[in-house]
């Protein structure tokens, strides 16, 4: 196994008496798109800000590219790119002027800067907008310009904090294709998202809640680790069926999904008997074939379990 490009251990950040990030540990492997998930306030941005050197940790360690991220920051920082949750683009400059400005901060100049700016803007499919003010761009275009600006210095590790929030599904796909190209160039990416379709495309995920790591691994193994199967029952009596289903011991959860009840059952269980009992109670419904849990199911499960605990 090659050495991970990023290794985080015991990372903690307190704000007064409040602990926003608590004893967090994970690794990002070379060439990986690593997804960072968790509800609002989970501590995702705080973690990224510590790893990018914008915020000092209260305690913990992080190694990147074989160096200590907190004590040898200067040697590592040049190889890191960061796109913050709030766009850092200057809205009253044009696209090209923004990239020239940020390229200058990275120490690029002259012909090298000009060619890198053109390469990135073309790669992100925003070259034709180079003379527009950033303020005039759509959200999707703006995010791709921000990605271009975060990668001008060809970083080896890229931190993207909710890069696709507010971006439509088509442009979101474009953004992910751009990320794939960056990985093909040799970058490793840590990305936060609230979009579980995107999370499914990540090589591995960390799910954090209340600043703590709750689940960590490949999307598929995380879903399998739940040990559940999901069955959707289509019915006009969805509210009553939901409460009736909850009274059966094998029903681990029953949530409403439009005019359906989505049941969570133990993975190996044959559901016919349960469905018969519900029909005998007077419910009419159409049962869709059982399916493995989705990341959304996992997300809901983790949040609910944390509330109970």
Ligand X SMILES: Nc1ncnc2c1ncn2[C@@H]1O[C@H](COP(=O)(O)OP(=O)(O)OP(=O)(O)O)[C@@H](O)[C@H]1O
What residue ranges bind Mg ion (CB under 5 A)? 44-45, 85
Stretch that binds ligand X, among 40-48, 173-181, 270-278, 282-290 (CB under 6 A): 40-48
Q: Where are the alpha helices (DSSP H) in the chain?
A: 44-51, 73-77, 95-105, 110-123, 139-150, 169-184, 196-200, 219-225, 238-246, 272-280, 295-308
Q: Which of 2, 40, 131, 286 binds ligand X (CB under 6 A)?
A: 40
C-alpha span between 120 and 203 (Å, rounded) = 24
Tell me, by CB under 6 A, how many residues bind ligand X.
Answer: 11
Residue 42 interacts with ligand X (CB under 6 A)? yes
Alpha carbon of 200 to those of 35, 110, 294: distances in Å?
9, 41, 9
Does residue 46 interact with ligand X by CB under 6 A? yes
CA distance 162 to 191: 7
Q: What residue 41 binds from ligand X, Mg ion, none (CB within 5 to 8 A, per partner kind)? A: ligand X
Site pattern 12..31 for ligand X (x: CB under 6 A): ---x----x-----------
164 binds, among Mg ion, ligand X, none (CB under 5 to 8 A by kind): none
Supply the DSSP string of 267-286, one letter for each residue: TT--THHHHHHHHHTT---E
Question: CB of residue 13 vs ligand X: minimum separation in angstroms?
Answer: 8
What is the nearest approach in angstroms of ligand X to the Cβ of residue 53?
15
Nearer to ligand X, 44 or 204 (CB): 44
Name residues contacting ligand X, limited to 52-91 (CB under 6 A): 85
The site partner of 219 among ligand X, Mg ion, none (C-beta below 5 to 8 Å per kind) is none
Distances (CA, A) of 90 to 96, 155, 253, 285: 11, 21, 47, 55
* The Cα angle at residue 106 between residues 101 and 111, in degrees rounded to 5: 70
Task: Tell me if 45 contacts ligand X by CB under 6 A.
Answer: yes
Q: Which does 151 bind (CB under 5 to 8 A by kind): ligand X, Mg ion, none?
A: none
Question: Exposure of 186 by Cβ count < 10 A (0-12 exposed, 13-18 middle, 19+ buried)?
Answer: exposed
Residue numbers of the site for ligand X (CB under 6 A)? 15, 20, 38, 40-46, 85
């Amino acid at each position: 196994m090659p050495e991970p490009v990023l290794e985080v251990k015991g990372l903690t950040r307190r704000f007064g008496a409040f602990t926003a990030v608590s004893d967090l540990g994970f690794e990002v492997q070379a060439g990986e798109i690593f997804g960072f998930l968790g509800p609002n306030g989970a501590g995702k941005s705080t973690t990224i800000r510590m790893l990018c050197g914008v915020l000092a940790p209260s305690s913990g360690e992080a190694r990147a590219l074989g160096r200590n991220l907190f004590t040898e920051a200067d040697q590592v920082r040049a190889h890191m790119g960061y796109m913050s949750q709030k766009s850092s683009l200057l809205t009253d400059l044009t696209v090209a002027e923004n990239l020239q400005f940020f390229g200058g901060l990275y120490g690029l100049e002259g012909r090298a800067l000009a060619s890198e700016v053109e390469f990135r803007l073309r790669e992100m499919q925003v070259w034709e907008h180079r003379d527009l003010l950033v303020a005039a761009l759509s959200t999707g275009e703006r995010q791709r310009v921000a990605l271009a600006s975060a990668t001008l210095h060809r970083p080896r590790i890229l931190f993207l904090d909710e890069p696709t929030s507010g971006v439509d599904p088509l442009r979101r796909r474009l953004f992910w294709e751009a990320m794939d190209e960056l990985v093909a160039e040799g970058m490793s990416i840590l990305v936060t998202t609230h979009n579980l379709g995107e999370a499914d495309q990540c090589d591995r995920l960390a799910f954090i809640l209340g600043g703590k790591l709750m689940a960590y691994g490949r999307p598929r193994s995380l879903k399998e680790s739940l040990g559940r199967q999901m069955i959707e029952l289509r019915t006009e009596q969805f509210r009553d069926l939901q409460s009736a289903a909850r009274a059966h011991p094998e029903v681990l959860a029953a949530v409403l999904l439009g005019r359906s009840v989505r049941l969570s059952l133990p993975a190996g269980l044959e559901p016919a008997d349960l469905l018969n009992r519900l029909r005998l109670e007077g419910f009419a419904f159409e049962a869709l074939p059982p399916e493995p849990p989705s990341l959304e199911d996992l997300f809901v499960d983790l949040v609910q379990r944390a509330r109970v605990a």
